[in-house]
Amino acid sequence: MKAVVVGYGAMGKIISSMLEDEFLLPVSIECEHKSLDDVKEDFDVIIDFSNPANLDMIYNYCKKTKKPVVFATTGYSDEQLAKIEDLANYAPVLRSANFSLGVILLNRLVKEITPILKNDFDIEITEAHHHNKVDAPSGTAKMLLKSVTDATNFTPIYGRSGYCPRKPQEVGVHAIRGGSIVGEHEIMYCGEDEIITLKHSAHSKKIFAVGAIKAAKWLVDKQIGYYDMEDVLFGE
């Protein structure tokens, strides 16, 4: 696989080191290639691990060239997410809020058990990340929340302060920021006299690179359309 990685921060450098035996070009303001239009070499797929500000560049390039693109960036606005979905009308597009294979399996478990427990258990989602993370709640927490609300129509409550008794049909969402935490996500199902907890802990950023590379290799020969990591893992 010949890949171009947009972004040369921590994740871009990890992917570059993992793909050193395969053709790879980084695109960022720190590199020789400052935009996708600067890349003259042939390649198979784009992996975006940068920031939402690069979306227009990627959108315009892929709409024109039909190149497959893996979006691993978080923090998009609703308008930007709609633009990514629109791009899938012109090129193969794969987006996920998290590329950890364990998190994708966790989300599948949430989809399976929430319909069973929703009438008898209160549901709370907690996420924790390093103190440099700028968006909250995390994209992964939003993904897990969507799986819960799709199954329940519960109302999200973001944090609690003051006098706020818990109401039926709520799902709490809480964000913690501190130190060098790579990523922690927990879903608690709190029933009468029992608690079920689903939790994923990331111990290094390498797991996200592994998933993004797996997604890119899967995407290179796919038809135009919109895909996610469940398609990669479960063939859906």
Residues designated catalytic: 129, 133
State CA 95 to chain mean position distance: 7
Amino acid at 45: V
Planar angle of CA 86, 99, 221, nearest 5 degrees:
55
State CA 77 to chain mean position distance: 14
Closest CA to 185 of 170, 173, 171, 195: 173
Residues 6 or more apart whose Cβ sits within 8 Å of residue 189: 113, 117, 121, 122, 123, 195, 196, 197, 198
Helix (H) or strand (E) holding 210: helix 206-219
